[in-house]
Amino acid sequence: MPRMTMIEALRDAMDVMLSQDPRVLVFGEDVGYFGGVFRCTAGLQAKHGENRVFDTPINESAIVGMAVGMAAQGMRPCAEVQFADYVYPAYDQITQEAARLRHRSNGMFTCPLVVRMPTGGGIFGGQTHSQSPEALFTHVAGLKVVIPSTPHDAKGLLIAAIEDPDPVIFLEPKRLYNGPFYGDHSGKSVGWAQHPAGDVPEGHYSIDLGKADIRREGSDVTVLAYGTMVYVAEAAADKSGIDAEIIDLRSLLPLDLGTIKASVEKTGRCVVVHEATRTSGFGGELIAEVQEACFWHLKSPLQRVTGWDAPYPHATEWDYFPGPDRVIRALQKSMED
């Protein structure tokens, strides 16, 4: 089984789907000749041709609007928005057109499109290259929202997203593109072993959207995380000595409430971790779901560890991120019956 970085795994997923399904198209800003700003599509245009993999103008609304039209006519577009921070001009097309097309047409049209976006911080990109806007999409009925944390999952989930009959927002944590990375203010890697590549099966395989992964079994407390924060949670559990069960959600919509419920009923405690800002973040929805489903099993108040309620700080981004020490404090607090 070959080993790949997340970048390579995503590229392989698109390559597989371009090869197997003539309806699949890959496009966006600089994804063709240049191969994408993060090189996720490098070599795909040369292999599959300019009619299948192509560049677009710097116009996110037009990129997604074109994808909606293609999907409605039976194509399978996989469109890239260069950074999640750039998606706002396309928000109308995603939420008012793509998400509603199946229902407003009474099933006459569907919208099988994928919008790929690098998300989150960690590259010192400042406030216009570091945002985590997943909650803006989880609020919208008709969308699916996916965030992988490993190369294996990235490939399987992207293939599943391209094959899905409805629109999927596919968020790719840029801190994981070349392996889990936790840094200090200088960007020096500290605290995590570097595993830039993971085992990824060759050819076609898919991972069901809406199925969480229990990354680490435990009995003391359940930790719900996704994307980069899965590794932060693992580091915190290792350092604290608390027997935490860590669930990688992988899919925010649909949400695997069954796996979450079973875990919290077992541990009686729950900590939610995400990089995005706290207020109205997806963690609030997770806490509400756990409270409603598991109230009589809870032994302590639910805990949240999140980014700051502030515009994204460039100079202090490593303080902004929930780090292992902040998660440890939440774990310890949750253990206070």
CA–CA gap between residue 305 and residue 133 (Å, rounded): 16
48, 103, 129, 185: the catalytic one is 129
CA–CA gap between residue 76 and residue 99 (Å, rounded): 15
- Find where tokens 């609030």 sit: 284
Q: Which residues of 236-252 are buried (b: 16+ CB within 10 A; e: fewer)?
A: bbeebebebbbbbbbbb
Question: If you ran DSSP here, which 8-state letter would residue 176 be given?
Answer: G
CA–CA gap between residue 37 and residue 30 (Å, rounded): 7
Angle, CA of 328, 332 and 334, to the nearest 5°: 115
276 SS3 class: strand
Residues contacting residue 106 through CB under 8 Å, at least 6 positions apart: none
Angle, CA of 154, 140 and 206, to the nearest 5°: 25
Angle, CA of 109, 210 and 78, to the nearest 5°: 50
129 is catalytic: yes
List residues with catalytic annotation: 129
